């Protein structure tokens, strides 16, 4: 419940940044700041690796998944719309189709690397 409310709060902040490029600039600048341990907890710039134990149940089984750190910034859905979808009820992204072709895997990896809060994992096969 706490993570869900944080996600909605963060989504509102992110929505104030009008373009994807500007969002990426803000995320990059925030990640360069040394604000001290814990300062960014609960904010959109809290980078921690995706954890398969925290993945949303909506994710389809397979390699890629989104965990509960997602702040609904839309980057993955812009980057790889054939694989990432929004939960309108929850306000987060999830993987609805797993890539099989290398070009599609590359797209999902691009989304993973671009995620500002590292909410996308690629070790989903290990969780089967």
Chain contacts with ligand SF4 (rule: CB under 6 A): 66, 70-76, 93, 115-117, 119-120
Residue among 58 and 127 whose Cβ is closer to ligand SF4: 58
Question: Which is closer to ligand SF4, CB of 26 or CB of 115?
Answer: 115
Any residues with CB less than 8 A from the CB of 23 and at least 6 apart, and which? Answer: 14, 17, 73, 75, 116
Which residue, chain included where needed, has tokens 């590359």? 106
Least Cβ distance, residue 35 to ligand SF4 (angstroms): 19
CB of 86 to ligand SF4, least distance (A): 8
Taking the least distance from each CB to ligand SF4, the nearer of 110 and 127 is: 110
Q: How many CA atoms lie within 13 A of 95 on its CB side?
A: 27
Please report how close the Cβ of residue 100 comes to ligand SF4 at its closest, in angstroms: 21
Q: Are 93 and 77 in contact (CB under 8 A)?
A: yes
E-assigned strands of 1-128?
65-66, 84-87, 92-95, 120-121
CB of 46 vs ligand SF4, minimal distance in Å: 11
Residue 35 or residue 81: which is nearer to ligand SF4 going by CB?
Answer: 81
Pairing of strands 84-87, 65-66: unpaired
């Amino acid at each position: 419940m706490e993570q869900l409310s944080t996600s909605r709060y963060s989504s509102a902040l992110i929505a104030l940044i009008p373009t994807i490029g500007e969002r990426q600039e803000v995320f990059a600048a925030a990640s360069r700041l040394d604000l001290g341990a814990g300062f960014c907890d609960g904010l959109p710039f809290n980078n921690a690796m995706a954890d398969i134990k925290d993945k949303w149940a909506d994710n389809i089984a397979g390699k890629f998944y989104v965990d509960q750190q997602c702040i609904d910034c839309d980057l993955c859905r812009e980057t790889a719309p054939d694989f990432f979808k929004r939960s309108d009820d929850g306000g987060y992204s999830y993987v609805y189709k797993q890539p099989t072709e290398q070009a599609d895997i590359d797209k999902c990896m691009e989304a993973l690397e671009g995620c500002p809060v590292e909410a996308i994992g690629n070790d989903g096969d290990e969780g089967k």
